[in-house]
Structure 1
Amino acid sequence: MTLLAIVEDRPTPQAVYNWRVYTCAAIASFASCMIGYDSAFIGTTLNLPSFTKEFNFASYSKDGLALLQANIVSVYQAGAFFGSLFAYGTSYFLGRRRSLLIFSIVFIVGAAIMLAASAERGIGPIIAGRVLAGIGVGGTSNMVPIYISELAPPAVRGRLVGIYELGWQIGGLVGFWINYGVNTTLPETRSQWLIPFAVQLIPAGLLLFGSLWIKESPRWLFAKGRREQAMRNLCWMRNLPADDLYILEEVSQIEEELERYRREVGAGFWKPFLSLKDRKVQWRFFIGGMLFLWQNGSGINAINYYSPTVFKSIGITGTNNGFLTTGIFGVVKTCVTIVWLLYLVDHVGRRRMLFVGAIGGSLCMWFIGAYIKLADPASKATAGGKPDSAGIAAVFFFYLWTVFYCPSWNGTPWVINSEMFDQNTRSLGQASAAANNWFWNFIVSRFTPQMFLKMQYGVYFFFASLMILSVFFVYFFIPETKSIPLESMDRLFAVKPVGKANKIIMEQLRAEEEAFRQNAGDAHLEDDEKANVRQLEATA
């Protein structure tokens, strides 16, 4: 099997894997670039000398400064929580594409407000702007995985949703390095810290203009009864004519699933809420939320938002040393995410990677916590702010933790949530999942400074313990979803034990596909026979 080989649920024309579907996914993923950048740049910006002088951080007590920094960071997650819920309404009434357009505008307004902050005006505009920017990223974090999963062929759905995660890492990479750049090349003026805030506008602008070009999700159009436009968009994305057998099969699956849901639950804005009476639907919502609890329980957002604090606890001091170490962290994350995107997510699968990431990541966290407990590096910083040999080993295990985390818990929860709900609960399910992500993100970002002050090395033991607990959750409750069509997810989650569910459903789908093609072949033969009879009658 080659690196880019794919595992198909049924024979698929090569035309389906075309530039259009990848381009739509890439444009939508500019949203994750702005999310990743915002998540990464703020922690190091708060430590820029020009920023700390502008807003007189030296006048705060240690606890007061920790509270201020926590508020600046966490209001963004609070806004994102509500934005992810607002997106359910916009996606239902306006569709996926126009929702992306609206939330990109909201983000741009918020980013522009942040640029008004100064020593005279105070830090208020930054806090207000981050609330609005948070609403924007919350809405797009809901929409992008849904949009990509609905346009993706099953065999490359993980890869395409993975582009969303790759965009997140690219944005984060820029966010981690930009402050190192401005700190080493620019004088300590207001412009030095304004540049990182202004760069937010670049990915948001690209998403805004890209949203004017991409096509609306065919599945959303089918759900709204706009069949003609849905067929045009689907044929455009698949690069196939409307009478191609692959298109006929896909449309048949979509319409059959929509009809089943209308029959059993009904269509409408409030109907997905009524479907929550169903224990099976409740269970999937619970799983989606718990995946993000475990994701944030790994410690990733404590590192993203407060990387200088994290590296200082290992013994790395000095502004440039902290920024450089953080930048390398961003490089490692991005490189490993590319490997996950190209190969792991659609070959190794979702479930197995979650196991490997949780176990390996937990072991690394235990080592880092034990090192801090035994060596107390923060109180023994060497000249130049660089760690000793044991500290270098701790830094190595920190980067090793990144290698375990990024191809597993970093993007996989988004992939699973984007694909496991049916058409009528997908928007609400993704809204719930995204809201859970931002809720737990808020909890971590709000209390991390205080946790480091009070718990010290215990913070790493806390995250390590949560990663071990996530292993048991995945083993008992998460089936493998790779290569399963969206319309077959209900069947997948009904199979027990969950460890064998994927294999069972794939065998059923192949048998059904053979039967469908046989029936289609018989129908063509029957049509040919009728045509021959008519021709003979006409000749006679």
Structure 2
Amino acid sequence: MAKLGRIEDRPTPPEVYNWKVYFNAFVATFAAVMIGYDSAFIGTSISLTSFKKEFDLVSKSTTEFNLISANIVSLYQAGCFFGAFFGYPIGYFLGRKWGLFISAVIFNIGAILQVVASSSTGLGIVYAGRIIVGLGIGIASNLAPIYVAEIAPPAIRGRLIGMYELCWQIGGVIGFWINYGTAKNIPEGHTQWLVAFAVQLIPGGLLMLGAPFLIESPRWLMSRDRTRSSLSSLSSLRNLPSEHEFVQREYLETEEAIKHERSLAGAGFFGPMQTVGRSRKLVWRLVLGMSLFAWQNATGINAINYYSPTIFKSIGVTGQNTSLLTTGVYGIIKLVGAMIWLLYLVDQLGRRSLLMIGSIGGAISMYYIGAYIAIAKPQNNPTLAITSSGRSAIAFFYIWTIFYSPTWNGTPWVVGAEFFPQHVRTFTSSCIAASNWLFAFLIARFTPQMFTSMGYGVYLFFASLMILSVFYVYFLLPETKQVPLERMNELFAPDVRAWNAHEIVMSRVRDGYATTTWCWWWKLEGRYCDEGG
């Protein structure tokens, strides 16, 4: 496996970067295809005339339709919110592997309910299906990132967790384009809107088939006192014999870390909750991790994801197919940005720099769009063709996407998966995932009303929040790039600050390995190492 810009915190045998760790990470993060697809397709599906006719929505007033569309979207978010919390006991007792399998089963049940909906059943079964699908997605959004964080070597941890974001965007691209394809090629009717709902079963079915073949997390096995299985799992993932010193070192570090964490509050289901509740540092970390999703939603991303036709209509894009096409291009740009972020940016520039760059570029773009709508008033002056100023607004919308996609889109998930000790990680990840869905729920529930009452002010509102997020990240969020999971505590030590914590901690990590832990590696290469320091 090529290095591709990899920066190691320690000399690492090349066998560690093997196909097994990538394959297991991909299977787990494939859960995000379900999330991306469901987040993307629903906004355009409910805008189809065929869907509106099926459920007698054509005659509804704008206010009534806004309420119904907000309910369809936000019930899904509510399901995700509660599912994220259910992910904690499932992940704690059953593990990451079977937890992901269960999430896929629940997701598929919800998808089937939506597929059997029709004019005779009404929207009630759609609502129920959206809630159940949300439960499955909430569980997966909790377990998939932490599973990958626990199996990944530090040098490629950001990249592997980033596969979660890549899969999210793959699902999103399909979701954004599916209704354009059906609108162009399938006559208006029941089948036209049903296809997009039925496609949910493809990623859900693939995850259900793939999850049983995952190698269980060595850290979870260790936390359940299954030490022999933990060593075997770690050896398999690292593609090295269990007696190899690299494997033994990582195994012992994990064992010692878990012993220390247990000593803080004891083992058991409620131990992690007690550990977090009694530690001001862990509470602060949890607040930071959860608040990142508030700032992520403050960029306006979920307003765009769920109501993209409304967004483009406000800019001046008219016609159902034109709106769907414009939305599809937005999805492709997000996918390309996610790939660049995954392959290079997240492990090179780090988390802090990406977030601040994304906020500054995104804010400038949003301010331009808001100014254009305020001055040109495209909704009050409809035209058959988009004007040159309208095209510039669309260009800035895509520029906003270019800044957002490789920065805020996936980075909060990476940080949330890295921040916490093993003993509390499943619990804190459930809180972080739930916070994402809570903030997304609020945005999804009130976005139609915001556009009705605020107009161009919505764009100015999101742009201003992005500016504020720059200061938040700089002064409060430490860099986690390449820091071993067992050393995350040091980023919050009293003698460091957010803006210099990474440099100080990584200096200590390199010095420690250079003088003691990894002398065996240099000696194997015939190089001198003073083990006395």
Partner of 1:371: 372
Partner of 1:105: 105
Partner of 2:527: none
CA contact (8 A) 2:37 2:174 kept: yes
Partner of 1:357: 358
User: Match of 1:433, as an amino acid?
Assistant: I
Partner of 1:5: 5
Q: Secondary structure at the match of 2:118?
A: coil
CA contact (8 A) 1:51 1:190 kept: yes
User: Match of 1:157, as an amino acid?
Assistant: R
How far apart, in 1, do the equivalents of 2:188 and 2:362 lie?
38
Partner of 2:466: 467
CA contact (8 A) 1:314 1:387 kept: no
How far apart, in 2, do the equivalents of 1:520 and 1:387 lie?
67
Alpha-carbon shift at residue 5 of structure 1 (Å):
1.9
Q: Secondary structure at the match of 1:225?
A: coil
Structure whose alpha-carbon radius of gyration is higher:
1
Q: Secondary structure at the match of 2:347?
A: helix
Q: Secondary structure at the match of 2:82?
A: helix
Alpha-carbon shift at residue 399 of structure 1 (Å):
0.3
Partner of 2:455: 456
CA deviation map 1:261-284 (0-9, x unaligned): 122222111011111121001001
CA contact (8 A) 1:377 1:387 kept: no
Pick which of 54-63 and 468-477 moved more. 54-63
Partner of 2:528: none
How far apart, in 2, do the equivalents of 1:120 and 1:264 lie?
57
CA deviation map 1:65-106 (0-9, x unaligned): 100000011000000000000000011111011100111100
1:122-521, aligned counterparts within 5 Å? 122-275=122-275, 276-383=277-384, 386-494=385-493, 495-517=495-517
How far apart, in 1, do the equivalents of 2:518 and 2:366 lie?
55
CA contact (8 A) 2:36 2:168 kept: yes
Aligned length: 521
Alpha-carbon shift at residue 510 of structure 1 (Å):
1.4
Alpha-carbon shift at residue 172 of structure 1 (Å):
0.3
Alpha-carbon shift at residue 381 of structure 1 (Å):
2.0
Alpha-carbon shift at residue 259 of structure 1 (Å):
1.4
TM-score normalized by the length of structure 2: 0.96
Partner of 2:14: 14
CA contact (8 A) 1:30 1:204 kept: no
CA contact (8 A) 2:10 2:518 kept: no
Q: Secondary structure at the match of 1:56?
A: coil
CA contact (8 A) 1:308 1:323 kept: yes
CA deviation map 1:301-350 (0-9, x unaligned): 00000000000000001000000000000000000110000000000110
CA deviation map 1:236-287 (0-9, x unaligned): 0000111212112211211121111122222111011111121001001100
Q: Secondary structure at the match of 2:216?
A: coil
CA deviation map 1:189-215 (0-9, x unaligned): 101111000000000111101101111
User: Match of 1:279, as an amino acid?
Assistant: R
User: Match of 2:428, as an amino acid?
Assistant: G
CA contact (8 A) 1:3 1:342 kept: no
User: Match of 2:94, as an amino acid?
Assistant: L
Alpha-carbon shift at residue 435 of structure 1 (Å):
0.5
Partner of 1:531: none
Partner of 1:535: none
User: Match of 1:393, as an amino acid?
Assistant: S
CA contact (8 A) 1:81 1:434 kept: yes
Alpha-carbon shift at residue 163 of structure 1 (Å):
0.3
User: Match of 1:179, as an amino acid?
Assistant: N
| C-alpha spacing 1:22/1:518, structure 2 compared with 1 (3 Å) | closer
How far apart, in 2, do the equivalents of 1:504 and 1:10 lie?
16
Q: Secondary structure at the match of 2:408?
A: helix
How far apart, in 1, do the equivalents of 2:160 and 2:153 lie?
9
User: Match of 1:408, as an amino acid?
Assistant: T
Alpha-carbon shift at residue 521 of structure 1 (Å):
8.8
CA contact (8 A) 1:221 1:227 kept: yes
Gaps of 5+ in 2: 525-533
Pick which of 242-251 and 459-468 moved more. 242-251
Q: Secondary structure at the match of 1:332?
A: helix
Pick which of 259-268 and 77-86 moved more. 259-268
User: Match of 1:63, as an amino acid?
Assistant: T
Partner of 1:54: 54
User: Match of 1:138, as an amino acid?
Assistant: G
User: Match of 2:127, as an amino acid?
Assistant: I
Q: Secondary structure at the match of 1:137?
A: helix
How far apart, in 2, do the equivalents of 1:461 and 1:43 lie?
23
CA deviation map 1:99-128 (0-9, x unaligned): 001111000000000112111111111110
| C-alpha spacing 1:38/1:518, structure 2 compared with 1 (3 Å) | closer
1:22-61, aligned counterparts within 5 Å? 22-61=22-61
User: Match of 2:425, as an amino acid?
Assistant: R
User: Match of 1:122, as an amino acid?
Assistant: G
How far apart, in 2, do the equivalents of 1:332 and 1:194 lie?
26
CA deviation map 1:127-176 (0-9, x unaligned): 10000000000000000000000000000000000000000000000000
Alpha-carbon shift at residue 233 of structure 1 (Å):
0.7
Alpha-carbon shift at residue 387 of structure 1 (Å):
1.7
How far apart, in 1, do the equivalents of 2:70 and 2:296 lie?
20
How far apart, in 2, do the equivalents of 1:515 and 1:235 lie?
25
How far apart, in 1, do the equivalents of 2:97 and 2:216 lie?
5
Partner of 1:533: none
Q: Secondary structure at the match of 2:267?
A: coil
How far apart, in 2, do the equivalents of 1:343 and 1:357 lie?
16
CA contact (8 A) 2:513 2:519 kept: no
User: Match of 1:324, as an amino acid?
Assistant: L
| C-alpha spacing 1:482/1:449, structure 2 compared with 1 (3 Å) | same
User: Match of 1:479, as an amino acid?
Assistant: P
How far apart, in 1, do the equivalents of 2:450 and 2:523 lie?
68
Alpha-carbon shift at residue 519 of structure 1 (Å):
7.2
How far apart, in 1, do the equivalents of 2:300 and 2:522 lie?
57
Partner of 2:531: none
How far apart, in 1, do the equivalents of 2:184 and 2:362 lie?
33
User: Match of 2:86, as an amino acid?
Assistant: F
Alpha-carbon shift at residue 64 of structure 1 (Å):
0.8
User: Match of 1:231, as an amino acid?
Assistant: L
How far apart, in 2, do the equivalents of 1:94 and 1:520 lie?
38
